[in-house]
Structures are given as C-alpha cells and as structure tokens.
Structure 1
Amino acid sequence: MPDLEYIAHYPEYLKDQIRHLVQVEKLGAYLLSKYPTTHNLTSDKALYAYVMEIRTEFLRKSEPITKVLYDGRINDINDALGLHRVTIKNHGGRLRSKSEIRVATLFKNTPESFLKMICVHELAHLKEREHNKAFYALCEKMEPSYHQLEFDVRLYLTHLDLFGKLY
C-alpha cells in the first residue's frame, strides 16, 4: 500500500477510507463526483483579476498586490502550492514594498474550488504571516469550506502521485 504523505496527519479512520478508495481505484471517481468541471482562468491576467476580486471583497485594507501569476517552478515537492512574497526596496530614501502571489501551474486545470482555496490561503498571508488560529479563521471567512477544500486538494495530490492527471 502506498504511503499517503499528503494526508499523513489526518485521523486513522480517514486514512483507512482513502486507502480503500485507492485500492479499488475509486479515488478519481470520488473527486470527479464532487468536482466535475475545471475553471477557465488559465492566463496570468485572469488569475490576477480573480485574486483581486477576492481581495477587494475581504481584504480591502491589506497591502497592495503588484503581481499574481502561475509559476511552473512551484511544486508540491517543496511543500508549496502557492507562494506569497513581499519585497522591500529602498528607493530614494523611501521604503517601497511589493507583494506578489504565485500559484503552482498544476492549478491551471483543476476545479475552481481548488484554485480558490490556494488563492485564499495566499491572500490570508497578507494579514497573518504564520499558520495560526487567526490565519485559518481568516481563510474560513473568505471561503467557509476552506478545510474541506484543503483536504480534497490533498486527495487530488495523492491521486496525481498514484494515478496521474485527473482533469
């Protein structure tokens, strides 16, 4: 039985259910039944507009975002599916900061819910740098089913590792 590294910290009863789905090769069918379609936000421009829409609704007073893009160099091997980076430069005696969000290109062809979960996660880092209670409360405020989506993304990554692309 393969190691289920993406869900290793979940309770044993959940891991047993996932192991069963993997053994009978029904994990993909399970995911497709919950998330049958993919989004059409495949360009960086569309991704930027999507993220800015979420930011405008929930984080108006947060620091500005200068760039949002898909990044092919991000992969789950580095334990990252998205990155939030702030750079501060001294420009003529004044400090200027730039904030950017990068999303792994694997989310170009996934359900919108998966993309939203990653975007919400990275946007939450604008206010909360650490993964603490306040961080996850903010994620849930922006996406009420955040924790379920995070679990389902982990299942999708497990499927990718074991069986290849689903979408």
Structure 2
Amino acid sequence: MNPLLRYVQGYPEHIVTPVRQLIESGNLKKWFEQRYPTQHSIKHEKALFEYTMQIKNRFLKKTAPLSKVIYDNKIHLINNALGLHSYVQRVQGSKVKSKNEIRIASVFKNAPEPLLRMLIVHELAHLKEKEHNKAFYALCCHMEPNYHQLELDARLFMIYLES
C-alpha cells in the first residue's frame, strides 16, 4: 500500500480508488492546485485569533471564551493531528481559572483558506461537543455546510505536501 494513502485510511473504496489513481498517475498536485489555486493570508497568530473569533462569535457566542489560538510546529508530529484543542484548569488561591486554547498545525499557514476554516470549525466544535459523535459533526456542518468535503480535501492537502 502506498504510504500516502494513510491519510484516507478508513474512507470507502469509492473515495480511496480515485485518490490512489491521482497519486499513481502523478496528477494529484495538478488536481489540487486547480481546485485550490490560492493560499490564505492569515500568517500571524493575531490574525488567526481574530479569524477564529469571527467564526466563534457567529456560531458559538455562548461557549467559553478562547484564550489562545496559535500555529504549532509540533502538532503534525503527534498522532498525525492537524489541530488540537485544550482545556486547562488551574487553581489560583481560592479561584479556579480555566483556559480554552486552539493549536493549528503550522503546515496550514500555507493552506487554502477553506481548509483552514474547516480546521478552525472542527476545533471550535470541541468547545461544545468534546467527542467526535453525531452532535459534533452536526455542529461542524452547521458552521461549515461543506465540512465533510473539506475534511477530505485537508487529507488530500497532506498527501499533496508529501508528494
């Protein structure tokens, strides 16, 4: 099996077969660049935080606040994750302080904007739904109607970067 296909492992064969054919024919790069000809301009963490807050304020106004949204160079190395959300509680005197943070894999600094948006939506959904269950994916699709296609395309982006 082609090691690049690990990104689409678990997808049905009718999706994996065309991906395999694109890789084997050497046409994946051309296909991807035609589908997504431009990268986003959100390169700095302040802009990433503002971008994330726009989405959060539109769809998740009543969820806990975010303290940090950053690009993280180490994420891709850990469990092949593309983004992480964390919830940290610290006791300070008699008060419990909590922080919600989102970390996005640095490879998405140079991604097409729809793929970055999908990843932000995914991590924001974890503010409300901790598990990857039906409610979680319904929330993702509410915030980004094309969520499932963009999730697949994000996996193809990872193959594109490695090929």
User: Structure 1 counterpart of 2:27, which letter?
Assistant: K
Partners in 2 of 1:76 and 1:120 — Cα distance?
21
Name the residue aligned to 2:89. 88
* Shift in alpha-carbon separation, 1:58–1:105, aligned structure 2, 3 A: same
Partner of 2:59: 58
Q: How many angstroms apart in 1 are the aligned matches of 2:91 and 2:55?
A: 30
Residue of structure 2 equivalent to 1:121: 122
Deviation at 1:79, TM superposition (A): 2.5
Report what 2:110 is aligned to.
109
Q: Which has the larger share of helix?
A: 2
> 2: distance between equivalents of 1:32 and 1:46?
24
Give the distance between the partners of 2:63 and 2:19, measured in 1 at CA.
38
| CA distance in 2: counterparts of 1:145 and 1:76, whole angstroms | 27
Q: CA deviation at 1:19?
A: 1.1
Post-superposition offset of 1:145: 0.3
Q: Secondary structure at the match of 2:128?
A: coil
Query: SS at 1:78's partner residue?
Result: coil
Show CA shifts across 1:91-144 (max 9, x none).
221211011111011000010011001100000000000000000000001100
Distance in 2, matches of 1:34 and 1:154, equals 14
- Structure 2 stretches lacking a partner, 5+ long: none
TM-score by length of 2: 0.95
SS in 2 for 1:39: coil
In structure 1, distance between residues paired with 2:157 and 2:137: 21
Q: Which residue of 2 aligns with 1:2?
A: 2
- Measured in 2, the distance between the counterparts of 1:8 and 1:96 equals 39
Q: Structure 2 matches for 1:1-167, cutoff 5 A?
A: 2-3=2-3, 4-75=5-76, 78-161=79-162, 163=163
Q: Distance in 2 between matches of 1:83 and 1:14?
A: 26
How big is the shift at 1:159? Answer: 2.1
- Count the aligned residue pairs: 162
Letter in 2 for 1:104: A
How many Å apart are 1:13 and its aligned residue? 2.1
Unmatched tracts of structure 1, length 5 or more: none
CA RMSD of aligned residues (A): 1.1
